[in-house]
Amino acid sequence: MAHRIHRGVGQQAALRGAARLTRGSAAVALVAIGALGLRSLDPAPQPAGPRWYKGNTHTHTLNSDGDSHPDDVVKWYRAHGYHFVVLTDHNVLTSVQGLNALHGLDGSFLVVRGEEVTDRFGERPLHINALEPSRLVRPQGGGSAVEVVQRDVDAIRAAGGVPSINHPSFGWALSADELAQVRNTRLFEVFNGHPMVNNAGGGGKPSLEAMWDTILSRGVLLYGQAVDDAHHFKRHDDRTASRPGQGWIHVRADSLSPRHLLEAMERGDFYSSTGVELSELKATTAEVTVAVKATTYSKYTIQFVGRGGRVLAEVQEPRATYRPRGDEGYVRARILESNGDMAWTQPVILP
Ligand SMILES: [Zn+2]
Ligand SMILES: [Zn+2]
């Protein structure tokens, strides 16, 4: 990163020099033109205050069971308009320093360190992401599914990382009742792009979103993330592959740094998406307002959801406001797009 900053300063100096130039030589003029050309690669100056960053917090590489080198994985996310990606290989903590030196760009793109702590209880796979831990976290095991998850969550916290409970219905690993018992964590996956994780439920099992409402209705605050869990970057035409670009989050953070991104995630200042982008999001105990960046070909339905998963209001427009009465328990919004894309905002707990 250091050489990039240096280059940027150098360009600014060259530009200032060019501006002062009244009768410069051809060589100096060429330097100025070169500087102007390079300048367009730099990010535009950003206004102060928080902004939205798009990212995926769950991805695999050749360092575990992915099919691509970390370098290619990072390049995929940068080339597809993401601001950040977390590399989360199974029980491997991939160094991101070199990747950021090659692909990182201040304020525009960041690779965040991560690990998918990959544990189990009997046949039940229990996977918990460690976001930005200071060291590798080994699976802790335990005497029940809840105890395994709790011990892994606590080990992730002890390593300075932020835990997120992954794909609860992969292998039908965790029930809503079990998930609600885990403490010391705020994040779980309400959507995972892997084709075998049973997001939608069925056959007597609840969807992840229904589980979320069950947990929130018990007064346990969890925020729901949408993620790729991408393993396969070379099997574009294979629907059984876990491909990138399926689910992501938009985080409202003070800067594109691991600390600011993770702080925003843990206070619920983000929304999750499988294709719907928002132009406005306000979520307070007095008002929840959602506006969609509408496409020309889509229609939208916005639902506000409260205790027990009850739909409190439904609006057939790309913008809607809900003003809580105070007895709803919590309010969150779900946005449905006419081709099946969705977005989920995070719950506001009512006092
Ligand atoms: Zn997993
Ligand atoms: Zn995974």
User: Ligand 1 centroid to 92 CA: how many Å?
Assistant: 13
Residue 231 alpha carbon to ligand 1 centre in Å: 10
The pTM of the full predicted model, rounded to 2 decimals, is 0.86
Has residue 338 got a pLDDT over 90?
yes
Average pLDDT along the chain: 90
Ligand showing the shortest atom-to-Cα distance for residue 171? 1
In the chain, the DSSP E strands lie at 51-56, 84-90, 110-121, 124-131, 162-165, 187-192, 223-227, 248-253, 270-273, 278-283, 288-292, 300-306, 310-315, 319-322, 330-337, 342-345, 348-349
What digits encode the pLDDT tens for the residues 254-312?
999 999 999 999 999 999 999 999 999 999 999 999 999 999 999 999 999 999 999 99
Provide the pLDDT for residue 39.
44
From the CA of 120, which ligand is nearest? 1
Q: Tell me if 89 sits within 8 A of 61, measured CB to CB.
A: yes
| Residues, CB within 5 angstroms of ligand 2 (ion) | 116, 229
CA–centroid distance, 167 to ligand 1, in Å, is 7
What residue ranges do the domains of the chain occupy?
51-275
Dist CA 28 CA 36 (whole Å): 12
Going from the Cα of 350 to the center of ligand 1, the distance in angstroms, rounded, reads 33
Determine the average pLDDT of the residues in 238-242.
Answer: 95
Angle at CA of residue 261, ends 260 and 267, nearest 5°: 90
Q: For residue 21, report the distance from its CA to the centre of ligand 1, in Å.
A: 59
Question: Considering the domain 51-275 in this protein, what is its CATH number?
Answer: 3.20.20.140
Span 155-186, pLDDT tens digits: 999 999 999 999 999 999 999 999 999 999 99
Residue 156 alpha carbon to ligand 1 centre in Å: 16
Please report which ligand is nearest the Cα atom of 193: 2
